[in-house]
């Protein structure tokens, strides 16, 4: 017998199943639009559902917020997530691990690739000002950071990784329309494997962004995926862990 841990969404009272969803329909803002939104909500399984907010977006689109009851529940005992398998280290501990393993500075090359111009993610990890009260990788004495910025072509990133003899390539992807982050990542991995055949010291490939699934690293062919909210200390700790496992030094 399984140890089931069923939970339902909470709205007004415990386990009432109430949820709020938002979406845009390609229809002018009128009464028919609201009817279409309610019909869509019903097909989503929300019963009863009510439109609590609408706003026209130009002449041909309407944005909706819908509130309703979902009949579905979740069994927590069946949830699988990517657990952090390495300890969080202080900057001093990371520096010591790198110095002990590499006997030189760890080189990290970072960028936003493709058409992505949103550097807030990569800057939060790399720049010394950091994120969430933590200093970025530039703060670590034993890490050399090369931040290429935004809209970097994949070939250019791979070239810079080769030129700087990178130990790790960090990529941030915020633009995700039509799964651009997945397409770009697969293209990067393919190019990296072509440039660094097996046994030639390929840098770690680490990607991050708000819509990445941390459990999909193997599927995408990268070494690590970091989701939203990741702090510089977590990335630094991972790199130190990889060093200790001889992943980079090999």
Give the catalytic positions in this structure.
Answer: 129
Contact present, 145 and 101 (Cβ < 8 Å): no
The two three-digit tokens of residue 190, written as one number: 């393919």
> What is the residue whose two structure tokens read 């279409």?
36
Contact present, 222 and 75 (Cβ < 8 Å): no
**202 sits in which H/E element:** none
What's the CA gap between 27 and 61, in Å, rounded?
5
**67 sits in which H/E element:** strand 62-70
Contact present, 49 and 12 (Cβ < 8 Å): no
SS3 sequence of 220-232: HCCCEEECCCCCH
């Amino acid at each position: 017998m399984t140890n089931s841990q069923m939970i339902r969404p909470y709205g007004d009272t415990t386990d009432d199943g109430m949820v709020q969803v938002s979406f845009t329909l390609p229809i002018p803002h009128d009464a028919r639009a609201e009817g279409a939104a309610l019909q869509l909500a019903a097909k989503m399984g929300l019963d009863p559902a009510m439109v609590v907010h609408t706003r026209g977006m130009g002449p041909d689109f309407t944005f909706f917020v819908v509130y309703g009851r979902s009949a579905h529940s979740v069994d927590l005992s069946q949830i699988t997530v990517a657990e952090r398998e390495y300890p969080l280290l202080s900057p001093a501990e990371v520096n010591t691990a790198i110095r002990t393993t590499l006997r030189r500075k760890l080189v990290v090359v970072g960028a936003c690739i493709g058409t992505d111009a949103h550097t807030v993610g990569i800057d939060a990890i790399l720049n010394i000002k950091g994120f969430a009260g933590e200093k970025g990788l530039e703060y670590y004495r034993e890490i050399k950071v090369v931040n290429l910025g935004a809209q970097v072509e994949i070939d250019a990133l791979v070239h810079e990784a080769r030129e700087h003899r990178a130990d790790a390539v960090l990529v941030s992807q915020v633009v995700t329309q039509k799964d651009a982050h997945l397409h770009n990542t697969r293209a990067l991995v393919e190019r990296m494997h072509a440039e660094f055949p097996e046994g030639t010291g390929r840098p770690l490939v680490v990607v991050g962004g708000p819509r990445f699934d941390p459990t999909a690293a193997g599927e995408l062919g990268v070494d690590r995926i970091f989701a939203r909210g990741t702090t510089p200390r977590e990335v630094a700790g991972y790199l130190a862990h990889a060093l200790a496992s001889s992943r980079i030094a090999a």
